[in-house]
Homo-oligomer: A and B are copies of this chain.
């Protein structure tokens, strides 16, 4: 179905229906994405402040067969928020819908609008002595609607789940401009198909999320963080199993870092304080949150002692203060920025079955070594089987010199992931970056079901065309 670019007549119709405040100038920031791969385009930028105006906008777009690209915080890493090609779309930003509509601490539930920034949601939960556990490095700009649309993951998935596990209900505008009122505060509701989970992770191709009911958790009574040096990824997995044996669900995060990441930090961000004078080859960050009466630092020391006894760890530090916990976390959370400063040739957000992780790392490194003297920085949410496996130019060289090898590198990593039963998009989504990958590695029967669902809900194909599924 051929789509039309936004034109003056269309903008005039929008202006008849929406208030003047719902229009903003398209500044360059809206057309950029964090890795600078694409430049976007927009025929008009619309920023409604209520679901009715979102619905009106989508309805007009459907009538005029004009594409709609939903826009959250702009932090997505796969180009889902960027229309680089095709007819100029309506860029529909939820930035003015950022209210916390309600909070029910005794139910551990909160209702927020899609444009709420993650760190504001954290603060609102905190004010009621509750925890909203979804957390990613971009928490200061990511908006919850986009995080749900991409089923964001992050550092606490091990304990609390992905975005989809932290959402009870949605309000959304479907591609025909109708509003689905699905904001239920229910833990159990088996009345019909799971439209909520279908929209979550559909990256704006099946509708626009305008509000959500989120799951809060009681704040752990005491929290603690440790860094432990492990000889290899096998030991890291054994340490994880031991930690869960000791602490059950008390293990909130379990992150793996490679020496390369620490070296990148030292090279590009010397102000970040590194925990060991001599960086170990593999480092694990363990974060725990325990119930009343339990002492986190003591629990981490007991874990370390048993792990040391068993040869799983060679060195370690338990944070002795909140300031030190923040320091440990800063190391982990600034690695992505250090990576950006070094400049990767190719980045991969992959997951494999937990037991296959060591095999993946070993064979991945071999495959990369066969292609050149690249540096690999492999880090991430090892408790979820999710690694960011990023490939960098040799020291002293620039990524641009190796752009010609990017496809080859990506292919080698992704083929290996696929062979091990993994996913080539663990948490970032498909967006526009991985449409080819989805076609190559996705199950063909699932793909055909996805296309049928897309055609059924969005027959004109206006919602975020070119994302997830190839446009026609």
User: Which A residues are within 8 Å of any B CB, using their own CB?
Assistant: 104, 106-109, 150-151, 153, 157, 161-162, 164-165, 174, 178-182, 184-195, 197-198, 200-202, 206, 218, 220-221, 237, 241, 244-250, 289-294, 351-355, 381, 384-386, 421-430, 434, 437-438, 441-443, 445-450, 452-453, 455-457, 468
Contacts and interface: CB of A to CB of B under 8 A. Distances in A.
A384 B187 contact: yes
A246 B290 CA distance: 10
Nearest to A422: B186
Contacts of A244: 218
B355 A107 contact: yes
A165 B165 contact: yes
A245 B222 CA distance: 12
A187 B434 CA distance: 19
8 contacts: A164-B194, A164-B197, A180-B443, A182-B446, A186-B423, A190-B426, A193-B206, A195-B446
Contacts of A421: 184-186
Given A190-B429, A430-B192, A452-B456, A245 B292 contact: yes
Nearest to A431: B190
A198 B198 contact: yes
A385 B194 contact: no
Given A186-B426, A195-B449, A248-B250, 4 more contacts: A153-B190, A187-B351, A246-B293, A453-B456
B194 A198 contact: yes
Nearest to A428: B190
A187 B456 contact: no
B186 A194 contact: no
B188 A385 contact: yes
A220 B249 CA distance: 10
Nearest to A441: B191
A136 B384 CA distance: 28
A249 B249 contact: yes
Nearest to A196: B197
A165 to B, nearest CB: 7
Given A189-B426, A190-B430, A241 B106 contact: yes
A351 B422 CA distance: 37
Nearest to A162: B188
Nearest to A152: B190
Given A195-B450, A201-B194, A449-B457, A248 B249 contact: yes
B188 A194 contact: no
A464 B117 CA distance: 43
Given A187-B157, A197-B194, A456-B456, A445 B174 contact: yes
A428 B319 CA distance: 47
B353 A109 contact: yes
A355 B291 contact: no
Which of A174, A201, A354, A446 neighbours the largest number of chain B CB atoms within 10 Å of its CB? A446
A147 to B, nearest CB: 12
Contact of A443 (B157, B182, B197, B422): B182
Contacts of A241: 106
Nearest to A437: B191
B250 A381 contact: no
B385 A187 contact: yes
A448 to B, nearest CB: 8
Nearest to A380: B188
B427 A188 contact: yes
Contact of A291 (B221, B250, B385): B250
A373 to B, nearest CB: 31
B106 A248 contact: no
Given A187-B385, A423-B190, A441-B191, A290 B248 contact: yes
